[in-house]
Amino acid sequence: MANAATIDAQADRIVDAMTLAEQISLTRTRAGASLKDLGVPLPAFIPEAMRIDKPEGSIGTAGFVPAIPRVGFPAQHQADASLGIADIGYLRPGQQSTSLPSTLSLAATFSPEAALEAGDIIGAEAFAKGINIMLAGGVNLAREPRNGRNFEYLGEDPLLAGRLVGQQIAGIQAHHVASTIKHYAVNPQESGRFVYDARMSEAALRESDLLAFEIGVRDGRPASAMCAYNKVNGLYACENPWLMNEVLKTDWGFKGWVMSDWGAVHSLHASVNAGLDQQSPQDKDFFAGLEAAVGDGSIERQRVRDMARRIVRAMIEVGAVEKVAKPGGEIPVEAHSARAQALAEAGIVLLKNDGILPLAATARKIVVIGRHADKGVPIGGGSSQVIPWGGVYRDAPEGTHPLSALMAPSYSLASPLKALAAALPNAEIQFDDGSNPARAAALAASADVAIVYAVKTEMEGIDHADLSLPWGQDDMIAAVAGANPRTVVVLQTGNPVAMPWLGKVGGVLQAWFSGQRGGDAIASILTGRVAPSGRLPISFPASTEQLPHPKIVGFDPAKQKALSIGVRYDPFPIDYVEGSDVGYRWFHLKGEKPLFPFGFGLTYTSFDYSGLKQTGGQTLKVTATIRNTGKREGLEVAQLYVAPPGRSIRLAGWARVQLKPGESRTVTIEADTWVLLSYDESAGKWARPAGDYRFFIGKSAGEPELSGSVFLNAAAQDRRR
Ligand code: BGC
């Protein structure tokens, strides 16, 4: 990789060889794919930008900017997103790619290495498909467990989400493919996403949502940041000078470019002067006015150069100018599918086990129950949707308009039923789709074990009103477990759910959206070929009454539409009363007990903690010995939570410890220095007051094993770069 001075010099050379019109052309993305290519009449609500002719040179991606061959600058092919190379509408020939487990599942690994691996797969496939910009890096904190896009994000903790997104981005960019980090910022629900005003104090913002971005920018050095649809403290994110110019570009020293979300731009001057560098496709092309604005002096010529230079520089830095991605590259489908399976296995969380798992070798008669459990595993919907190798099943009645079919609940053809049968060749397995609870219960009654694959699908643009499972599955599970307590529920959801049947079942696995070979991944855990090692990256509330907003602000069942296409809301504010105390921090503060706490997850063995030691003063280091007290090898994720004086607990670090039966290891976890700081708004600085910091090391935010208190000196930090 060239050094910064060389990159700067090359960027200057290329940008200064461009005319003003050429520089401006870089900042105006058009849709690279057209719904027209579906070849069916399009309903009136489909926006103009989605029905234009596919531009020449485009390979059919969400965004496209033509090349400028004269100066050696390649076209920009911008494709979604964080779970693989998306193409929801089959608009790009050869659209299939490796369907990774949901990003929330990735967060459940608590493994930066896994995030790097996921990014590596995405980057390799993007490059092989001729895509040089991935709209990946979704890191909005999960403030709302009913948000339809949490499956695309990395959970509720800024340190976990920030570290993992940084690695995911680095993995992508190692392939000469630029990545975004998105949606900047505070875009934690879909209801009213185009209009709501997310309100919070500056300190709370910096300590939570912005901290996740800041860590991601530091570790991953994304080429681009995508500003969000919503407003933040009164101004649209894409025309918010504080967010873009001040925090991102000045405080964090971000050298890349800010692109808008699709349709998130509302102005020319306000946006450009606030720091927006590139307008993504939408009906109203504000940036078409750039040349005139430079002409009449209302936008500075230098600012346009800066916009173009940011794009050029970032593309040079990731190597996308030197190594131009071209379609038709080789993709090792089998190897990537196997890696996707391993990632899915690492993200599965064992929530309950009364000894029923792993399935006994003696289990002969097994009943598999579940909607489409014979066909596949659910995948998330919306712009991030990947068409897996092997294809997709859309749960839409015959004759559905092809456009609506794209928005239907979708499944990767990775049949859990077939996978389990392959893993247990000697078992007699029967299947029931679960649509009739009495029938499913009758079948379960005579089985050694019943396994219910429960599903709750998610779609961009749509939030859920509550935490229940759809299609009567809660009642069905209760009936099955009533007939046979030896029931295991495999949850395949993009979010936390309530479990009214929890006390009746023998085991619960949270398998999320498990991707390309999800069926096999789940079978590996059920049979014990792989021991569960995932931990919850999001709290599972006992009820919505425990949440800062028991009802989603602005939720309107009539307006829950896929991708929010054609949905109109009147603007409304959302006051984030929890501030930076998102998720487990809120539960801790309020003394509420969730159903399952953040960080929770069992495995097939047990661990104990002993020998607590700590050092204070400048840094906080906590040492403990962890021993595997069970009969199987397993992975413990030892988590360090710290409460600054007068504040709630914060995840400050963790260690993943793989131990054989009887083995023990002493680990030292150093608290992340950024996490220990709080933002002092009046001084405009990060500060750590001197005082006693309570801490604990444990299995989750709700399960302290060893706790103590340590004196830390005062510290201040100006991390402006
Ligand atoms: C989503 C973005 C996505 C873009 C392009 C928008 O609807 O919010 O996350 O990158 O579409 O597909």
Strand ranges inside 660-702, DSSP E? 664-670, 678-680, 685-688, 691-700
What is the share, in percent, of the chain residues with pLDDT greater than 90?
92
CA angle 115, 410, 428 (to 5 degrees): 90
Sheet architecture: strand order including 685-688:
678-680, 685-688, 715-717
Q: What is the pLDDT of residue 648?
A: 97
State pLDDT tens for residues 598-636: 999 999 999 999 999 999 999 999 999 999 999 999 999
Q: Given the CA of residue 229, which atom of ligand 1 is nearest to it? A: 8
Does the pLDDT value for residue 228 go beyond 70? yes
Q: Which of 144, 233, 138 is nearest to 578 (CA)?
A: 144
Euclidean distance between CA atoms 189 and 543, whole angstroms: 18
Do residues 271 and 235 touch, judged by C-beta distance below 8 A?
A: no
Output the CA 188–ligand 1 centroid distance in Å. 14
Question: Ligand 1 test: best mutation among 80, 179, 238, most atoms within 8 Å of CB?
Answer: 80
Output the CA 275–ligand 1 centroid distance in Å. 20
State pLDDT tens for residues 639-674: 999 999 999 999 999 999 999 999 999 999 999 999
Output the CA 571–ligand 1 centroid distance in Å. 20
What is the pLDDT of the chain when averaged over all its residues?
96
DSSP 69: G
DSSP 140: -
Amino acid at 706: L
Local structure of 448: helix, strand or coil: coil
Output the CA 511–ligand 1 centroid distance in Å. 25
Closest-CA residue, ligand 1 atom 3, reads 383
Does the pLDDT value for residue 718 go beyond 90? no
For the chain, give percent helix, strand, coil, nearest 5: 30, 25, 45
Question: Ligand 1 test: best mutation among 61, 191, 383, 407, most atoms within 8 Å of CB?
Answer: 383
The neighbour count for residue 431, using CB atoms within 10 Å, is 18
Euclidean distance between CA atoms 566 and 149, whole angstroms: 18
Burial (CB < 10 A; 0-12, 13-18, 19+), residue 333, is middle
Closest-CA residue, ligand 1 atom 2, reads 261
Q: Given the CA of residue 382, which atom of ligand 1 is nearest to it? A: 7
Output the CA 261–ligand 1 centroid distance in Å. 6
Question: Ligand 1 test: best mutation among 29, 135, 153, 567, most atoms within 8 Å of CB?
Answer: 135
Query: At residue 40, what are phi and psi to the nearest 5 degrees?
Result: -130, 155
Do residues 104 and 150 touch, judged by C-beta distance below 8 A?
A: yes
Closest-CA residue, ligand 1 atom 8, reads 261
Q: Given the CA of residue 138, which atom of ligand 1 is nearest to it? A: 9
DSSP 33: S
Euclidean distance between CA atoms 54 and 37, whole angstroms: 8
Amino acid at 608: D
Q: How many CA atoms lie within 13 A of 667 on its CB side?
A: 23
**Dihedral in degrees, nearest 10, Cα atoms 311, 315, 316, 320:** -150
Sheet architecture: strand order including 365-369:
349-353, 507-510, 487-493, 449-456, 365-369, 428-432
Mean pLDDT of 240-244: 98
Q: What is the pLDDT of residue 38?
A: 83
pLDDT band at residue 225 using 50, 70 and 90 as cut-offs? very high
Q: What is the pLDDT of residue 325?
A: 95
Output the CA 262–ligand 1 centroid distance in Å. 6
Query: At residue 207, what are phi and psi to the nearest 5 degrees?
Result: -85, -5
* Structural tokens at position 248: 């991102």
CA distances from 227 to 122, 182, 214 (A): 22, 7, 14
Q: Which of 394, 459, 536 is nearest to 110 (CA)?
A: 536
Mean pLDDT of 60-76: 97
Output the CA 441–ligand 1 centroid distance in Å. 42
Euclidean distance between CA atoms 584 and 699, whole angstroms: 13
Do residues 138 and 567 touch, judged by C-beta distance below 8 A?
A: no
Does the pLDDT value for residue 1 go beyond 70? no
Does the pLDDT value for residue 90 go beyond 90? no
Contact residues for 515 (Cβ-Cβ < 8 A; gap 6+): 83, 84, 98, 99, 100, 101, 102, 105, 340, 341, 343, 344, 377, 379, 388, 412, 414, 521
Q: What is the pLDDT of residue 332?
A: 98
* Structural tokens at position 111: 């493994």
In sequence order, what DSSP letters do the residues of 224-244 get, joined into one string?
EEEEPSSEETTEEGGG-HIII
Euclidean distance between CA atoms 314 and 178, whole angstroms: 8
Euclidean distance between CA atoms 286 and 265, whole angstroms: 8
Sheet architecture: strand order including 410-412:
377-379, 410-412, 392-394
Radius of gyration for the alpha carbons in the chain, expressed in angstroms and rounded: 25
Do residues 219 and 163 touch, judged by C-beta distance below 8 A?
A: yes
Ligand 1, residues at Cβ distance < 6 Å: 62, 80-81, 135, 182, 261-262, 383, 563
CA distances from 489 to 31, 102, 364, 368, 581 (A): 42, 19, 18, 10, 31
Interhelix angle for 301-317 vs 4-16, to 10°?
130
Q: Which of 510, 701, 503 is nearest to 593 (CA)?
A: 701
Euclidean distance between CA atoms 623 and 77, whole angstroms: 48
Query: When comparing pLDDT for 451 and 88, which is higher?
Result: 451
Query: At residue 491, what are phi and psi to the nearest 5 degrees?
Result: -85, 130
Query: When comparing pLDDT for 403 and 383, which is higher?
Result: 383
Q: Given the CA of residue 563, which atom of ligand 1 is nearest to it? A: 7
Q: What is the pLDDT of residue 360?
A: 86
CA distances from 666 to 647, 655, 657 (A): 29, 11, 9
State pLDDT tens for residues 359-371: 988 889 999 999 9
Output the CA 136–ligand 1 centroid distance in Å. 10
Euclidean distance between CA atoms 151 and 390, whole angstroms: 22
Instruction: Indicate the pairing of strand 685-688 with strand 715-717.
Output: antiparallel
Output the CA 224–ligand 1 centroid distance in Å. 14
**Dihedral in degrees, nearest 10, Cα atoms 17, 21, 26, 32:** -130
Euclidean distance between CA atoms 452 and 433, whole angstroms: 9
Output the CA 632–ligand 1 centroid distance in Å. 44
In sequence order, what DSSP letters do the residues of 461-523 get, joined into one string?
TB--SSS--TTTHHHHHHHHHHH-S-EEEEEEESS----TTGGG-SEEEE--S--TTHHHHHH
* Structural tokens at position 616: 């204070």
* Structural tokens at position 608: 């104990």
State pLDDT tens for residues 268-322: 999 999 999 999 999 999 999 999 999 999 999 999 999 999 999 999 999 999 9
Q: What is the pLDDT of residue 223?
A: 99
Helix segments in 58-151, DSSP class H: 103-107, 112-128
What is the share, in percent, of the chain residues with pLDDT greater than 70?
100
Q: What is the pLDDT of residue 185?
A: 98
Local structure of 385: helix, strand or coil: coil
